[in-house]
Every structure is written in structure tokens, then in C-alpha cells.
Amino acid sequence: MNHISQSGKWRVAPAMTLALAVLLTGCEDLLQVELPSTITTDALDNPDIAEVVVNSAITAVECAYSRFIVGNPTGMEDAMVDHGGGAAIEYQDVISTSGCGSGNNYSWFNPFQEARYTAEDLYARLDGWTEEEL
């Protein structure tokens, strides 16, 4: 019985070595992915991606509006949080840099400012391009 298992090992070892070699040589680009909607800062000057940037600005406004709708009924419409109790109330600006998908819904002000900046920057870029470029 020991003789059979030893010969089985010698038959499997070359097959395993070959399989390992194929796997290791075939995985050169395994982690390489192309993201067509991911753009760099330099690429923003390209009129070919204007549609992607317009959709980004629309999404930023939708995100900010969603955060406003969540925060407004809870008394956060002034984008401030009160700290303290009784007569000692101290107001502090709420700073939030998280996206719509996060659980940080304290402020709607920052997402609106991000959306405003994105839209203004996009408008300036669109204004500089001709209709033929777009």
C-alpha cells in the first residue's frame, strides 16, 4: 500500500509543478484593471470626457440634496451643531468630508460646496471649448 501512494506522489508532482508554472506566468496582468470612468486632474482639460464630468457634477448635487433631506428634519438645517446644555450653548461648524455612502450625515453644507465648486469649474471649462470640440 505504501508503494502505491509513493508512486502516486511522483505522478502528481510534475503535474502540480506545471500547473504552478502556468499560474505564475499567466498572472502578470491579473491585478491590472482599466477604469474608463476614472479620470486624472490633467484629463479634465480634455473635451472628450465632458459628459463624464457633467455626470459627476449632477451626482455631487444629488448627493448634497440627499444629505440635506436627511439632515433637515433632524434640525440640522443651519449646518451647525450645538454643544452644551441650558444657557451655555456653543455653536460649532460641522466639518464633514465624507461621501454619500458613509454614515456621517451631520452636515449637508460641505457636499453642497463641493457640488457648487464642481459645477462652477465645469461651467468654466465648457465655456472655453467650442461646439466642435464637444
Evaluate whether residue 40 is within a structural domain: yes
Please check whether residue 92 is in contact with residue 104, taking contact to mean a CB–CB distance below 8 angstroms. Answer: no
What is the domain extent for residue 69? Answer: 31-128
**How confident is the model over 108-129, as pLDDT tens digits?**
777 888 889 989 998 998 898 8
**DSSP label at 114?**
H
Please check whether residue 131 is in contact with residue 97, taking contact to mean a CB–CB distance below 8 angstroms. Answer: no
Number of domains present in the structure of the chain: 1
**How confident is the model over 48-89, as pLDDT tens digits?**
888 888 998 898 888 888 877 776 656 555 555 555 555 444
Q: Is the pLDDT of residue 90 over 50?
A: no
pLDDT at 4: 53
Evaluate whether residue 44 is within a structural domain: yes
Evaluate whether residue 11 is within a structural domain: no
Evaluate whether residue 134 is within a structural domain: no
Evaluate whether residue 20 is within a structural domain: no
Which stretches does DSSP call E strand in the chain?
Answer: 80-83, 90-93
Evaluate whether residue 15 is within a structural domain: no
Q: Is the pLDDT of residue 100 over 70?
A: no
Q: How far apart are CA 104 and CA 128, in angstroms?
A: 37
pLDDT at 120: 93
pLDDT class of 30 with cuts at 50, 70, 90: low
pLDDT at 15: 78
1 vs 70, residue with greater confidence: 70
Evaluate whether residue 80 is within a structural domain: yes
Evaluate whether residue 83 is within a structural domain: yes
